[in-house]
Structure 1
Amino acid sequence: MITIEDCIGLSDLREDEILALAEHEHIPEIAAAALGAYLLHQKHGAERIRAMIEDDIRAANARGDQMHAAELFMALRHFMYDHRDALESGE
């Protein structure tokens, strides 16, 4: 049987990044892992993932959840380090 850890390992994303996608899209973690893996292989897909994590950060800040916003910011930092193509052209 394939586990969520297997899916995370195959996605080329970290668990915190997948959790951010799941939160943003309101989907289970396993679906978020599949979505993330799919997006990473699409043109501008990494930029879309970055935008989703940024949306999550803004939502956490808007509801006053600074602790969660900080966790999401760290996920964004890891994502940007691992996926430099997430920068929009010209930045």
Structure 2
Amino acid sequence: MLSLKECMEFTDLDVDEIATVAQHEHVPDIVATEMASEMLQSTEGLCCLHTMMLDDIESALNHKDFDLARELVSHYQQFCHRHPLP
């Protein structure tokens, strides 16, 4: 049986990106890992991942949690560098 860490290593996503999917979709990390890995395989899925991250940034700003928003923007910038929109 594979551990969560081993499953994450099969994806081209980091822990924070998988955590974003888990939180956004209200699923465990292992399920989010599988979902996110699948999403990276299509343009539509990639767009959904970008949207999830932007939604989280917007939510942090709406709650005036500027430290979290800055952290999420940093993660999003890294994600955009590795997985740009087509």
Q: How many Å apart are 1:17 and its aligned residue?
A: 0.8
Task: Give the match for residue 21 of structure 2.
Answer: 21
Residue pair 1:12, 1:37 contacting (<8 A) in 2 also: yes
Q: How many Å apart are 1:44 and its aligned residue?
A: 2.2
Q: Structure 2: how far apart are the matches of 1:22 and 1:57? A: 15
Residue pair 1:19, 1:32 contacting (<8 A) in 2 also: yes
Q: Structure 2: how far apart are the matches of 1:66 and 1:37? A: 29
Q: With structure 1 as the length reference, what TM-score do the two structures score?
A: 0.85
Q: Structure 1: how far apart are the matches of 2:48 and 2:17? A: 12
Mapped pair 1:70 → 2:54: no
Residue pair 1:23, 1:56 contacting (<8 A) in 2 also: no
**Mapping for residues 1-91 of structure 1, pairs under 5 Å:** 1-84=1-84, 86-87=85-86
Q: What are structure 1's unaligned runs of at least 5 residues?
A: none
Q: How many Å apart are 1:10 and its aligned residue?
A: 0.9
Q: With structure 2 as the length reference, what TM-score do the two structures score?
A: 0.89
Alignment root-mean-square deviation, CA: 1.3
Q: Structure 2: how far apart are the matches of 1:27 and 1:61? A: 23
Q: Structure 1: how far apart are the matches of 2:30 and 2:15? A: 11
What percent identity do the matched residue pairs reach? 31
